[in-house]
Chains A and B, each alone.
Chain A
Amino acid sequence: MNETLSKILGGKQGAIGLAILAAFIMIVLPLGLDPFRLGLIGKYLTYAFVAVSLVLLWGNGGILSLGQGIFFGLGGYGMAMFLKLEASDPVSTAIQSTPGIPDFMDWNQLTALPWFWEPFKSLPLTILAILVVPTIFAFLIGYAMFKRRVGGVYFAIITQAIALILSILIVGQQGYTGGVNGITDLKTLLGWDIRSDSAKYVLYYVNAGLLIACILLSRYVLSSKFGMLLLAMRDKEERVRFSGYDVSNFKIFIFCLAAMISAIGGAMFTLQVGFMSPTFIGIVPSIEMVIFAAVGGRMSLIGAVYGTLLVNFGKTMFSETYPELWLFLMGGLFIAVVMFFPNGIAGIYEKYAKKVPFLRKLSEETPKAKKAEAIPAAPVETKEAGVKA
């Protein structure tokens, strides 16, 4: 048990890094910012779920998905559908020609709730759907592609096309999905007003707690043998395959896990921001989320959170004052990160932290660094690993 715990925390250095992050988002930011700014940070932290999922998928697995917005959106829409149904009770929608259905359905001459909205009347089913629907969708995509050994740029392009399809579909089917405006006017969760300041604080902490939990889960996955295999697959896929591992199963698993983490972020987004729209699904948001992870450091779970905060903070700052400059900066950021800082903030930290004596001592004590050198590839373990995936 103790060993598991130390694995999850990532040794002394990992635990300290995580503690600093937790203190930063849970104590420093709430104390230092007014509720409005904190709401913005809460929104950014929901993107950080996607960035964390991309660290798993892209940094460690070498699979670049340009469609993480799909899963973020599915999670967000799941939550939004539940909240919308709660907001459209027959009393408050009495002026509609069909009371009791969401307003946009009424505007589009729908007279009954579509069947796929029915499960979202219940909160447990909604939470289940938020976790399961994106995972199943990811499984289907992953199964179809990884089993046929499609990877690399092809995978990126096809996930991008799927993100495009989904966003056009949602915009096009206005009566069922709310169209380009998305699902708006979300007010209460089981009668609890989510727009009040106190609710915003509660949701912020729930969000931060879930984010830390997802990072811990990801740490656990990465520190297990599976994590080692993931790295090995990224660097020498053929060799892993020839050692007797079924590479595609590992890829499907990590893709599903990444989808689920992104979906949690999407659901928290809806709760905190109060709406969900197709603009968070399409090509542009999906690829922007990749840059969050890249800026933070594609190999660093904690770095991904800082990267997300930094890029979004910059975006808000610049688009308020110099909207023209922002696209230049964003574009420049893509180019600069790829060309000069492939490991992002975490990479810069790694490089320069070693010059500080105290920090160097810490990193030398990390057990993970030693372990990474020995990659187990004994054929006896194959069966066990296959079952795990």
Chain B
Amino acid sequence: MFEYSMAEIGNIVVMQAFSGLSLFSVLLLMALGLAIIFGQMGVINMAHGEFMAIGAYTTVFLSRVAETYGIVNYYFLFAIVAAFIIAFIIGYIIEFALIRHLYKRPLDTLLATWGLSLVMQQIFRSTFGAKEVSAVLPEWLMGSFQPTPDIDIPINGVFVLALALVVTAGVYIFMFRSRWGLRVRATVQNRVMAGAVGINTKKVDRVTFALGCGIAGVAGAAFTTIASTGPTTGSLYIVDSFMVVVFGGAASILGTIASAFGIAQAQSILQFFMTSSMGKVATLMVIVGILMMRPEGLFASKVRK
């Protein structure tokens, strides 16, 4: 690390920090969905990464369609919505068929959703092939802008970051400022009482789960702008996303944002100065270490259990 001058190190840190922001955006979008499902409902969804892949494949598919009709410049915003809707619908069906039978057995949910993730990976492989595919990006997403000659910031990264922030704001408004969010929180806090005051708790469960899956779909759409998608793409992010949620303190949106930021930045900056695998090891070890000291995560909700 000593062969660089101070100015170069400064530039590297800025650029790595920015590539960390792209990772942060994807992790945040993944973790938001998980935070809703795991934090609010206590369900471990190991297939969450595959819902992200659904979003990514939807985007890739739509980009192919858009290419044939020559409307590449306009499809992307539509693809984000489509990714959300498709992942939402599949999540809704999965909750109905599988998850709702297992609410009393969280460890079993974990195993069942792992099985689901295997099945989904194989479906992706059979449908889209084992090779990684990438979406054709609209022109306005490509290229980069340079605030100084040595710093290069890609536009797609900025876009993904903006998308992540918009979705986060949307989740916040949904959970804490809407009637639906009120029902979700009431159900989490006291299911029986929530039922007694007329909330359809089963429907709340279903919509909450589907919403989490839908957000994972948006994460997938965002993911296509920075990397290509393969059948096992989702599984690469699942442990990281769980660490984000647990580290941030389940059920806390602020905690999720903070820990996604911390984890993404640490990984991205360490990866430059160490090898990429050691950067990841160091980051995960620190998180596990902190979680052992402070199991409730960074921002624990102050509720007596």
A residues contacting B by CB (< 8 A) are 58, 62, 64, 66, 141, 144-145, 148-150, 152-154, 156-158, 160-162, 164-165, 168-169, 171-172, 283, 287, 290-291, 294, 324, 327-328, 330-335, 337-339, 342
Contact = CB atoms under 8 A, between A and B. Distances in A.
Interface in B112-132: 112, 114-122, 125-126
A342 B125 contact: no
Contact of A342 (B106, B108, B239, B295): B108
Q: 7 closest Cβ contacts across the A-B interface?
A: A334-B115, A331-B118, A172-B277, A331-B119, A144-B292, A327-B122, A331-B115
A158 B288 contact: yes
Given A153-B107, A157-B246, A334 B112 contact: yes
Contacts of A169: 277-278, 281
B101 A331 contact: no
* Interface size of B as a range: 35 or more
Contact of B118 (A58, A283, A290, A330): A330
A331 B111 contact: no
B277 to A, nearest CB: 4
Contact of A328 (B98, B107, B119, B242): B119
Contacts of A342: 105, 108
Given A164-B284, A327-B119, A339-B102, 10 more contacts: A145-B295, A150-B295, A153-B42, A158-B292, A161-B242, A324-B125, A331-B115, A334-B116, A339-B101, A342-B105
B111 A171 contact: no
Nearest to B43: A153
Contacts of B109: 338
A172 B281 CA distance: 9
A279 B122 CA distance: 20
22 contacts: A58-B107, A148-B295, A156-B44, A158-B291, A158-B292, A160-B239, A161-B239, A165-B284, A171-B277, A172-B281, A287-B114, A327-B119, A327-B121, A327-B125, A328-B118, A328-B119, A331-B117, A331-B119, A331-B122, A334-B115, A335-B112, A338-B111
Interface of B: 38, 42, 44, 98, 101-102, 105-112, 114-122, 125-126, 239, 242-243, 246, 275, 277-278, 280-281, 284-285, 287-288, 291-293, 295
Nearest to B42: A153
Nearest to B126: A324
A172 B38 CA distance: 31
The binding surface of chain B is classed by DSSP as helix
Given A164-B239, A327-B121, A334 B111 contact: yes
Contacts of B293: 144
Nearest to A165: B284
Contacts of B285: 165
A165 B119 CA distance: 25
Nearest to B276: A172
A337 B98 CA distance: 12
B275 A157 contact: no
B280 A168 contact: yes
A327 B292 contact: no
In the complex, which of the residues A161, A287, A328 has the most CB atoms of chain B within 10 Å of its own CB atom?
A161
Given A161-B287, A165-B281, A172-B281, A154 B112 contact: no
B118 A327 contact: yes
A172 B278 contact: yes
Contacts of B292: 141, 144-145, 148, 150, 158
B122 A328 contact: yes
B110 A64 contact: yes
B106 to A, nearest CB: 5
Contacts of A160: 239, 242
A44 to B, nearest CB: 20
Contacts of B98: 335, 339
B33 to A, nearest CB: 16
Contact of B288 (A64, A165, A291, A330): A165
Contacts of B107: 58, 62, 64, 152-153, 156
Contacts of B115: 291, 330-335, 338
Nearest to B101: A339
Nearest to A284: B235
B288 A162 contact: yes
A157 B109 CA distance: 13
B177 to A, nearest CB: 29
In this complex, the member of B109, B121, B239, B275 whose beta carbon has the largest number of chain A beta carbons within 10 angstroms is B239
B293 to A, nearest CB: 8
Contact of B246 (A144, A158, A328, A335): A158
A114 B60 CA distance: 48
